[in-house]
Amino acid sequence: MATMTWDDARGRAAARPHRVLFTVRRLVALLLVLAGMAVIASAQAVRAVEAAIAAALIGPLTRTQTYVWGSRGSFFWGMGTDHAHGIRITGECSLAYVAGPMLIGFGLLLLLKRLPSPQVVVGAAVGIALMLIVNTFRLLLIAGAIHHWDSETAFWWAHVVLGSMVAVIGNVVGMAVALTIAFRNRPGAP
């Protein structure tokens, strides 16, 4: 029979919470990776949600009726008028292929760095929320240009030029905010 000193017992008890936190961190990392994979796998559903959000906002702005064709990731406005228009959100213009890899990256970051799990999850959530707001604004910008000028040229300028700039800047800002939150008050940081 081995004997144990008081210091030995205290050391073992102190080591247990560290193991539990490490296990929780790995579990949260796995959940983030799985969530990212799910977002990518369900990109069509993400486009349907984006279309529904855009339609809900463009209707009051144009004072027209809207329609969402969720299975195609499309939304229409001006329904019942001579100037009905629609936009189909393609994979390249959707948040799915930005948010999914971001979640996977934040899950891997959680495994590689000693960061608090809640901070990483909040950072990812805030970053993705900002990116969703920016992408919705971009869709409204494109729809507004089409509604106002009613031409292919308006679509091209609003989508290719302005929309691309808004998307790039918004995604960079969203990622920067997410990383700032994730790394804020990092243990051992000055």
The average pLDDT across 22-49 equals 93
Nearest to 127 by CA among 32, 18, 25, 3: 32
Q: pLDDT tens across 122-173, in order?
A: 999 999 999 999 999 999 999 999 998 988 899 999 999 999 999 999 999 9
Residue 159 CA to residue 155 CA, distance in Å, equals 6
Q: Please, what is the end-to-end C-alpha distance for the chain in angstroms?
A: 47
The three-class DSSP label of residue 73 is coil
Higher pLDDT, 19 or 179: 179
Rg (CA), the chain: 23
Structure tokens at 96: 């799915």
* Residue 180 confidence (pLDDT) above 70: yes
Residue 34 CA to residue 19 CA, distance in Å, equals 22
The pTM assigned to this predicted structure is 0.83
Structure tokens at 66: 């809207």
Q: pLDDT tens across 73-106, in order?
A: 999 999 999 889 999 999 999 999 999 999 999 9
pLDDT of res. 79: 93
Residue 14 pLDDT grade (very low, low, confident, very high; cuts 50, 70, 90): low
Residue 190 pLDDT grade (very low, low, confident, very high; cuts 50, 70, 90): very low
Residue 41 CA to residue 93 CA, distance in Å, equals 16
Give the residue extent of every domain in the chain.
19-183
* Residue 17 confidence (pLDDT) above 70: no
Q: pLDDT tens across 33-42, in order?
A: 999 999 999 9
